[in-house]
Every structure is written in structure tokens, then in C-alpha cells.
Structure 1
């Protein structure tokens, strides 16, 4: 791994998008199962409509994202797994590169609230000296995309939990 000047990836608290925190009437294990089942993202996720990765640390996560600025358009995105804590945290990042100096880190956080409930939210930190500019340009639509994702994850997890309870 190459060394990068720390100023190029510094965190500015004003350049972080935070989704709504949703409480989910399903265990953290079910939410985790949905988050790591990348081939099924297109069935429930309104923003990340396709994803592919081994989810090994450092592995690429190839995504197809729904545009929130151009109706009907999609665009590719590739980031790299940087945290994987089952039932707690799934993160990927876009490292700084001189050719694309817009590093970022996405954290998806699950908080167990009991045996049959949890909370979920996500953040996207736009890093380095360009982070605040990315935030001003992209922040509002990223927030909307992440809020939509949180709501869809809640619906998917609760439906799956109800199905499994009914079948047992």
C-alpha cells in the first residue's frame, strides 16, 4: 500500500452525509445477512441496484448506482472494503488518487437493540481538501439516496423476519 499525505485524506466533520437512523423490528443478524447478500441488492436497494464483491478486506466492491440527479440514469462505482465486523459494521472506501482526488468512506452501522430489533444508519465521509466541495455538490442527493436505502433495508429486514417467524 502506498503512503498518502494525511492532509489528502483528513476528515472534515462538515463533509459527512448521515442517513436517517431507522429502528428495525428484526434482529441485527437478518440486517447483516441482507447487507452482505450483494447479488440481491437489486431486489430491494433503490440506490445501489447492483453490487459484486468477495467482501474480503481490501477487495473491490463494484456497484451500479441509480442517479439521483438524472432521471433513469445509472453509473458505475468501485470502492474497496475497509471494515467488516459481522452484524455491526460494513464499510468501503474510495482511496485518494492523484487522478481522482476525491477520497471517501462509507460506513453502514448496525446497532443491536435486543434479540429481535436493531437500528441502522450510514455515513459517507468526503475526505481531504476537496471533501467540502464534494459535500456541497453531492451531499443533498447522497443523503436522499442513503435515507431511501435505510427505509428499504428496514422494509426488507422486517418482511424477512416476519416470513421466518411465520414459517417456524
Structure 2
């Protein structure tokens, strides 16, 4: 089966708890997040979210992934599927890792797979990766002010 990974990271001068509080404060996403413009849903394992993304140069899209990992201060991960499993799946991961006193590495990555992946791979490599990087810079700016 086709598979593709995106990986971005940024260092942030903040505690893991502070970065987590921004990452999981979904109602404030429209104020600061240029890529994921809204998320609705409960932050608990197994919960369904409603996520709206606006890739730079791409079309806005809403999807409904299920949370598969919720580790406060460490990791938030969801799995989204288009129509049904193995057609076009994306497992999105946010990780917060302490690297020094008062600093963290914030990683945003996604593993894509499925039969339709070849149709979307160019857009993922350009627009989606650019969106991840823009969000990383925005969460850094918010956490450090």
C-alpha cells in the first residue's frame, strides 16, 4: 500500500504544560492558528473531532478524525479517514518533548496511506507541509509571548 510521511519540528521556549494548554485550547484556534482554523470536540481517547484546515494555496477542508492518543503535556494524535479505511488515511501527531530547562521540541507529523494517496501526494508535500510549518511558528509565537 502507498505511504507518505510529513515531519516538521520547532523549538519553543516554554514548558510542556504551557504548549499543551495552547494546543488543546481549541476555541482559540481561530485567533492564532493559520492552518488548523477550527477544532471542535472533547479531548479524550476515542472522541471524534471536527477539524477544519486551510492549507496555504489549497482548499479549506473539514474532516472528522478520532483521537487515538491523549497524553497531557506529551502527545495528541488522531486518525482520519476519507469515506472508509485504506482509501485515504492520515494519522496526525503532535508531540511535545522537553529538551532543556524551559524549552521543548514541538513536532507535528502525519503518516498518510491509502489507495488515493498518489492523487494527493504533491499537494501534501507542498501545501500541507507549509501549513504544518506555519502552525509551528504560530504556536511558538503564542507560547513565547
Q: Same fold (TM over 0.5)?
A: yes
Q: How does 1:13-162 map to 2 (within 5 A)?
A: 15-19=4-8, 21-70=9-58, 74-95=60-81, 97-98=83-84, 101-159=87-145
In structure 1, runs of 5+ residues without a counterpart are 1-6, 160-168
> Which digits, 9 at most, give the CA deviation of each residue in 1:82-139, with x for residues without a partner?
1111111101111465488101100011111234111101111112344354323422
Q: Is the radius of gyration larger for structure 1 or structure 2?
A: 1
- Cα 1:68–1:76 change in 2 (3 A) is same
- Residues 1:65 and 1:120: Cα distance change in structure 2 (over 3 Å): same
Greater share of helix: 1
Q: What is the RMSD computed on CA atoms of the aligned residues?
A: 2.1
TM-score, normalising length from structure 1? Answer: 0.77
- Residue 125 of structure 1 aligns to a residue whose secondary structure is strand
CA contact (8 A) 2:86 2:115 kept: no
Structure 1 runs (4+) greater than 3 angstroms displaced: 95-100, 128-133
Q: Which stretches in structure 2 are left out of the alignment for 5+ residues?
A: none
> How many pairs were matched up?
145
Q: Which SS does the other structure have where 1:60 is aligned?
A: coil
Give the alignment's TM-score, normalised by structure 2: 0.88
